[in-house]
Amino acid sequence: MRCRGLVKVPSTSNKYKIFLRLLIAADRVQFARLLIEIKVARSISIPEAPVAVEGSEATVPALSAAPSCQLNTLPPLRGRHVNSRLSHNMARAPAVFYVLLCLLITERVLSNKARNVLILLADDGGFELGAYGNKICQTPNIDALARRGLLFNNAFNSVSSCSTSRAALLTGTPSHQSGMYGLHHGVHHFNAFDNLTSLPNLLRQNGVYTGIIGKKHVGPDDVFRFDYEQTERNNHIDQVGRNITHIKLLARDFLANANRDNKSFFLYVGFHDPHRCGHSEPQYGAFCERFGSGEPGMGTIPDWAPWYYQWDEVQLPYHVQDTEAARRDIAAQYTTMSRLDQGVGLILKELEAAGHKEDTLVIYTSDNGIPFPGGRTNLHEAGVRAPLLVASPEPGARRNQASYAMASQLDLMPTVLDWFGISTERAEDNEVTHGDEPKSLLPILIKEPAYSEAEAVFASQTHHEVTMYYPMRAVRTRRYKLLHNLHHAMPFPIDQDLYVSPTFQDILNRTRSKRPLPWYKTLRQYYYRPQWELYDLRRDPAELNNLHGKPSLTEVEAELRARLQSWQRRTRDPWRCAPAGVLDHDQCFALDNGLAD
């Protein structure tokens, strides 16, 4: 396979000379082989659960009698009421598997072995990764991490905006329930509710040494407190979020503290790459790709060897127009990806040097989709579908494999708590207690769950910037997505950062001057959306063919709608009556504004 489009330039040289063309490694992550069956376990199965009516709950007697694994944090294993999706999944799973799982977990907690977690969070990072099939953008370090662990092909953000997504990741709570309705900084000024239980607070209470390096972007401080904080609050964001040499040294410092105190640790590294910076620091380029590049006046980052790409050979995402301006924008993003990728490599080396390669769960993901039209701030796929790599050091863990299980970033908090063997009782203050609730992903690291059409993830967005009020709610199963644009008559808002980008300016200019725009939508279509959008993602991954109201899908749509509403009710969504009604004392009262359907 030829690796096209790649130009590597030494940081000291200005000559854009190709001197290296790489072959794509042959041992790519295997996308096809998924269902590894444990033959012995298959012969014993739990009877099918009664089919639950939407919103109601079904008890699964077989489960109450089955493994009483008190140490596990998965609610179903405590023999509680479980919702239809979970009971469905559990009912299909082999009983022996759960018994083994309980034994594993019990042994793990009793052996008191050190266990740590490292979260590597990209900022607006997408699928510009070799591991996810991008053939041009070179990310050898992240690809190596993917080979060491499990690659999720169906992982989703619960919201497509920075602060809200980070708050959701750190509390397991959707944005409408956390109170973090939009961006935290400056005039936007959003904060989560004071009564929320966050992952770092819970871990600190349980004796885990917690650290954050890089972008924090959530508040209030008391709700999100880490023992070790090197963030934009006490540093320049570029130093803690983009200067990978500086980040490496901070990680070394944190790990030395953890080792000195002989403590389990949780380290959250919030890279600011590959976020745009044309709005805040245009002197460094659209993606800050020149910051520390070694070009005159840009400074150097000793550990970064930037990679440069030819604009005409980037791998264009389907939601970005095929023009030189947009392609150059993507090429700049790729260069910034090389800084993120090498940063990930440095942190993993520090982890190993500190003696923690074999006892640390490593998670790589991104807070929201890429900052291009159709991406960040949208609940369409390019806005919420996220890379998710989870590498477990456990001997039985899946490696160099892909999972198609539906995973939400709301699942990360229960996953980390499960890893540390901490009960989620206190986390349940966050009110997500029944139904389609967040779940630990650890069982998936051991075995691919049986395929289920019933698995779903949810998304909820209200603001990005304070001016960008555009509430949306969505439910996504493996096949379908139902998206509700609550205030659909308003134009879809555009954030400052996207507005000044070469890609959006190009769309504007071409639309204004009526020049050809080789894009998947018109600007008008992008701004004005219908109230309901229903997509069959198997047939229509770009979400271009709205099937809302299609007679053959009446039942599918009604089911998704009921499920979305039920999730909104359970998570106390203040918007659950919008736009057709007003909420009062947990009831919706009609407005007769013609939007009831």
Ligand X SMILES: *[C@@H]1O[C@H](CO)[C@@H](O)[C@H](O)[C@H]1NC(C)=O
Beta-carbon count within 10 A of 10 CB: 12
Q: Which is nearer to ligand X, 315 or 505 (CB)?
A: 505
| CB 67, min distance to ligand X, A | 27
Q: Which is nearer to Ca ion, 495 or 533 (CB)?
A: 495
| CB 431, min distance to ligand X, A | 6
Q: Which is nearer to ligand X, 224 or 480 (CB)?
A: 224
3-state DSSP of 169-210: HHHCCCHHHHCCCCCCCCCCCCCCCCCCCCHHHHHHHCCCEE
- If one asks whether residue 12 binds ligand X (CB under 6 A), the answer comes out as no
**Contact residues for 180 (Cβ-Cβ < 8 A; gap 6+):** 163, 164, 167, 168, 190, 191, 192, 218
| CB 282, min distance to ligand X, A | 13
Looking at 25-33, 149-157, 202-210, 498-506, which segment touches ligand X (CB under 6 A)? Answer: 498-506
Residue 509's binding partner out of Ca ion, ligand X, none, with CB under 5 to 8 Å set by partner kind? ligand X
- If one asks whether residue 299 binds ligand X (CB under 6 A), the answer comes out as yes
- If one asks whether residue 245 binds ligand X (CB under 6 A), the answer comes out as yes
Q: Are 484 and 435 in contact, with CB atoms under 8 Å apart?
A: no
Query: Which residue do the tokens 């329930």 mark?
Result: 177
Q: How many residues appear in the chain? A: 597
CA dihedral 192, 193, 195, 199 (to 10 degrees): -10
Query: Which residue do the tokens 């964001």 mark?
Result: 237
Residue 404's binding partner out of Ca ion, ligand X, none, with CB under 5 to 8 Å set by partner kind? none
Q: What are phi and psi of 279, to 5 degrees?
A: -80, -35
Residue 325's binding partner out of ligand X, Ca ion, none, with CB under 5 to 8 Å set by partner kind? ligand X
Q: What does the alpha-carbon distance between residue 434 and residue 450 come to, in Å, rounded to a whole number?
A: 22
Residues 404-463 that bind ligand X (CB under 6 A): 429, 431
Residues within the interface to Ca ion (CB under 5 A): 123-124, 162, 367-368
Residue 429's binding partner out of ligand X, Ca ion, none, with CB under 5 to 8 Å set by partner kind? ligand X
| CB 61, min distance to ligand X, A | 31
Q: Are 308 and 7 in contact, with CB atoms under 8 Å apart?
A: yes
Q: Are 557 and 548 in contact, with CB atoms under 8 Å apart?
A: yes
Residue 123's binding partner out of Ca ion, ligand X, none, with CB under 5 to 8 Å set by partner kind? Ca ion
Beta-carbon count within 10 A of 529 CB: 21
Instruction: Choose which of 62, 71, 114, 144 interacts with ligand X (CB under 6 A).
Output: 114
162 catalytic? Reply is yes
Q: What does the alpha-carbon distance between residue 217 and residue 220 come to, in Å, rounded to a whole number?
A: 10
Instruction: Spot the catalytic one: 162, 277, 288, 577.
Output: 162
Residue nearest to ligand X (CB): 299
Q: Are 492 and 498 in contact, with CB atoms under 8 Å apart?
A: no
- If one asks whether residue 193 binds ligand X (CB under 6 A), the answer comes out as yes
Q: Which is nearer to ligand X, 237 or 560 (CB)?
A: 237
Q: Which is nearer to ligand X, 155 or 199 (CB)?
A: 199
Beta bridge partners of 122: 366
Residues 273-292 that bind ligand X (CB under 6 A): 292
DSSP category for residue 353: H
6-8 and 307-309 beta bridge pairing: antiparallel
- If one asks whether residue 525 binds ligand X (CB under 6 A), the answer comes out as no
Residue 124's binding partner out of Ca ion, ligand X, none, with CB under 5 to 8 Å set by partner kind? Ca ion
Instruction: Summarize as ranges the residues that interact with ligand X (CB under 6 A).
Output: 112, 114, 193, 195, 243, 245-246, 262, 292, 299-301, 325, 429, 431, 502, 505-506, 509
Residues identified as active-site: 162
